[in-house]
Amino acid sequence: MSEFTNVSEIFGSNVFNDAVMQERLPKKVYRELKKTIEEGKELDLATADVIAHEMKEWAIEKGATHYTHWFQPLTGVTAEKHDSFISAPNAEGKVLMSFSGKELIKGEPDASSFPSGGLRATFEARGYTAWDCTSPAFVRQDAAGGTLCIPTAFCSYTGEALDQKTPLLRSMEAINSQALRLLRLFGNTTSKKVTPCVGPEQEYFLIDKEKYLQRKDLIYTGRTLFGAMPPKGQELDDHYFGNIRQRIAAFMKEVNEELWKLGVTAKTQHNEVAPAQHELAPIYAESNVAVDHNQIIMKTLKMVACRHGLQCLLHEKPFAGVNGSGKHNNWSITTDDGINLLDPGTTPHENIQFLMVLSCILKAVDTHADLLRESAADVGNDHRLGANEAPPAIISIFLGEQLEDVVEQLISTGAATHSLTGGKLVTGVKTLPDLTKDATDRNRTSPFAFTGNKFEFRMVGSKDSIASPNTVLNTIVAETFAEACDVLEKADDFEMAVHDLIKKYLTKHQRIIFNGNGYSQEWVEEAERRGLPNIKSMVDTIPTLTTDKAVALFERFHVFTKAELESRAEIKYETYAKAINIEAKTMIDIASKQIIPAVIKYTKSLADTVNSVLAAGAEASVQIELLNEVSTLLSDTKAALTKLIDLDAKSTEIPEGAKLAHYFHDEIIPTMDELRAPIDRLEMIVDKEMWPMPSYGDLMFEV
């Protein structure tokens, strides 16, 4: 890499973006494609052929030899099948490079091995990928060379969604149509499209690759299943926003360059709270593009880490005892002509359209708090949510002092007459300017916080796709917009009806507003009094997908069918059971083959020392006490290991689905904790040279 990077020159250089399309496509073809992107008009095959040819020529110039339909099945990661551009040799034995419109628009990967939750039998192999032309194609350059990646949706032979993108696109259509209905009622006749936009902040850990390869738990599960805390963790907060070490800075520089080439607007980077933890945040993009970009970010972090002898950990809780990683999902709604529906303006009490939108969102989040919680549920997130490092498992909304005051005025009197202002922050130093204060502080303990002109959903796990939470957000808000429009469109006096509806929604759903400390036990008790759900584990969130309320919501807006929801519930139960089963088997493997042999070796060394001391006629009480302690812990380890082996074996007798997932949650996880406890104590006693794996200190501080 060169020392100097001209961002403007490299940005988007590997993306088949609008500028490239304008340059390379015939004007008529370009116009047809833009209509498809903006209005959903179907492309004819002749037009698609022209686009495919130009896309192929451009990709070959970028070094691409293959293309792939890049999709997001229900595995949590992306999937791709590569095909080269070469066609059958001609009579002279030379191959031609070809790529047709049919190949661009539709692919046909084997769908039998992807999770379908019963939507397909395993012997039914056909599945389809369909080009999402609203998210630009790009050339990814890696060890495989150049590959043209075409973002696509993925569905079954009978049309059911087998991916994350299809429901997201459906939800975007839902919120667009309902938001436009609302805007028209407020006299807006110019906006043609309303789009949810997202800016996800990505947290991650970096550790040394060689040390990573010595930890089977990290390799198999993404997190450490054993590990004692080092003398220093995150107590001093000195890593947070601290000086970025040179090895990490070189990594970040290359990550940025790779992302900029792919059109990802990587903007912010810094050290996070925990040692070896960092964050990267892009600028906002349309929801489906943001989802694609976040997948690109996660892939790039891992790819570039390998080049620097590092390993990127995206698990929500790779190290017990220090903060885990999340993904703050900053969500807003904007029109094609630049209006942010979540911008309160300088006098929000006078901004009736904003107050209507705000009250609808409060209603949506309160009504469907269970679905929103489920959208952030993940096996790894169970270790993080509610642990005083991330939002609690209880959904609430933080509005801040200014909006809370406006809401209270509307509820109590039916009218808001003023808005609190921020005023000045006096620094007390003559050489420093006094600063204009925001009218509202921020609240890091809130799961759903209003932050000026957007909502920040802070519960999403670091390795998860952001498609699910945004699909839910778009759909639940579309529902409340639709219900509001149903009322307002029939009103004789629109202004009076709007004021009445705002007050009604705010009054009925004010219980969801909480501006205090979400980490406190008092809030847990208060939330229970308010009737807010507190769903603590992933297993307990899954039934929310198939309630009558959820089915009615998603079917009304054609986001999910009942069968698709039931399939996702089945997949989530299966995913949970499999993930915990892998963790349990990994613990058994490490304890049996690495830790117990190491402790026995250390015990023998201790016993030899005791015998030597006693043979010399000296006092050996300290050594004997240590030997007894190690022997007791070793006995506890063996007992817990035997119990875990037995319980894991019994899991094969339990039917798959909810029962098996609950078995792993209720029986296996507590037993895993029982096995870990004595082993972590042994790590603090056994000679470091004999301990079979790098410690937390080695992993987090020696990067």
Token pair of 692 as six digits? 């079979």
From the list 513, 484, 517, the residue with the least C-alpha distance to 499 is 484
pLDDT in tens, 361-418: 999 999 999 999 999 999 999 999 988 888 899 999 999 999 999 999 999 988 889 9
pLDDT in tens, 314-326: 999 999 999 999 9
* Rounded Cα distance, 54 and 100, in Å: 10
Using 50, 70 and 90 to split pLDDT, how confident is the model at 422? confident
The contacts of residue 95 (CB under 8 Å, 6+ apart) are 86, 87, 88, 89
Token pair of 686 as six digits? 């056994």
Instruction: Confirm if 318 and 211 have CB atoms less than 8 A apart.
Output: no
DSSP secondary structure string for all residues of 404-455: HHHHHHHHHHS---------EE--S-TTS--EEPPSS---TT-SEEE-SSSE
Task: Tell me the C-alpha to C-alpha distance, in Å, between residue 196 and each of 109, 372, 439, 673, 684.
Answer: 30, 16, 25, 42, 50
Token pair of 144 as six digits? 């495989």
Instruction: Confirm if 682 and 630 have CB atoms less than 8 A apart.
Output: yes
Strand segments, DSSP code E, in 71-179 are 82-84, 106-107, 127-131, 138-142, 145-156
Angle among Cα 658, 660, 666 to the nearest 5 degrees reads 95
pLDDT in tens, 623-681: 999 999 999 999 999 999 999 999 999 999 999 999 999 999 999 999 999 999 999 99
Cross-strand bridge partners of residue 271:
278
Task: Give kind and range of the element (H or E) at residue 271.
Answer: strand 266-271
Say whether 394 sits in a helix, a strand or coil.
strand
The residue-averaged pLDDT of 56-72 equals 96
Q: What's the confidence (pLDDT) of residue 437?
A: 66
* pLDDT at 428 > cutoff 90: no
Q: What is the mean pLDDT of the chain?
A: 93
Say whether 197 sits in a helix, a strand or coil.
strand
Which region holds residue 24: left if phi is over 0, alpha if psi is between -120 and 50, else beta?
alpha
Task: Tell me the C-alpha to C-alpha distance, in Å, between residue 171 and each of 71, 87, 144, 331.
Answer: 18, 39, 35, 14
Question: Hey, what's the torsion of the CAs at 260, 26, 51, 150, to 10 degrees?
Answer: 20
Say what angle helices 352-367 and 165-185 make with each other, to 10 degrees.
140
Write out 528-593 in H/E/C secondary structure: HHHCCCECCCHHHHHHHHHCHHHHHHHHHCCCCCHHHHHHHHHHHHHHHHHHHHHHHHHHHHHHHH
* Rounded Cα distance, 228 and 637, in Å: 15
From the list 501, 532, 171, the residue with the least C-alpha distance to 367 is 532
The residue-averaged pLDDT of 237-251 equals 92
Q: What's the confidence (pLDDT) of residue 444?
A: 83
* pLDDT at 61 > cutoff 90: yes
β-pairing verdict for 138-142 and 397-398: unpaired
* pLDDT at 594 > cutoff 70: yes
Q: What φ, ψ does residue 284 adopt, rounded to 5°?
A: -60, 150
By CB atoms closer than 10 A (0-12, 13-18, 19+), residue 79 is middle
Cross-strand bridge partners of residue 197:
286, 332
Task: Tell me the C-alpha to C-alpha distance, in Å, between residue 480 and each of 48, 340, 343.
Answer: 38, 18, 19
* Rounded Cα distance, 685 and 625, in Å: 12
pLDDT in tens, 482-530: 999 999 999 999 999 999 999 999 999 999 999 999 999 999 999 999 9
Enter the DSSP assignment of 511.
Answer: G
The residue-averaged pLDDT of 240-265 equals 95
Q: What's the confidence (pLDDT) of residue 1?
A: 44
CB count within 10 Å of CB 116 equals 23
* pLDDT at 123 > cutoff 70: no
From the list 677, 669, 605, the residue with the least C-alpha distance to 634 is 677
The contacts of residue 146 (CB under 8 Å, 6+ apart) are 59, 62, 63, 64, 65, 66, 139, 140
Token pair of 34 as six digits? 């833009």
Does 390 or 576 have the greater pLDDT score?
Answer: 576
Task: Tell me the C-alpha to C-alpha distance, in Å, between residue 185 and each of 241, 340, 343, 603.
Answer: 46, 17, 18, 78
The residue-averaged pLDDT of 466-484 equals 98
Q: What's the confidence (pLDDT) of residue 195?
A: 97
Q: What φ, ψ does residue 599 adopt, rounded to 5°?
A: -70, -40
Question: Cα 113 vs. chain centroid, distance in angstroms?
Answer: 24
CB count within 10 Å of CB 490 equals 8
Q: What φ, ψ does residue 313 adopt, rounded to 5°?
A: -105, 120
Token pair of 11 as six digits? 């940005």
Using 50, 70 and 90 to split pLDDT, how confident is the model at 94? confident
Domains of the chain: 7-163 (3.10.20.70), 171-219+238-422+434-560 (3.30.590.10), 575-701 (1.20.120.1560)
Enter the DSSP assignment of 126.
Answer: B
Instruction: Confirm if 373 and 544 have CB atoms less than 8 A apart.
Output: yes
Q: Which residue has the tokens 């947070």?
A: 240
From the list 217, 206, 107, the residue with the least C-alpha distance to 163 is 107
Strand segments, DSSP code E, in 285-429 are 285-286, 310-313, 327-335, 397-398, 424-425
The contacts of residue 248 (CB under 8 Å, 6+ apart) are 206, 278, 703
* pLDDT at 687 > cutoff 90: yes
* Rounded Cα distance, 300 and 263, in Å: 13
pLDDT in tens, 71-85: 999 998 899 999 999
The residue-averaged pLDDT of 566-584 equals 97
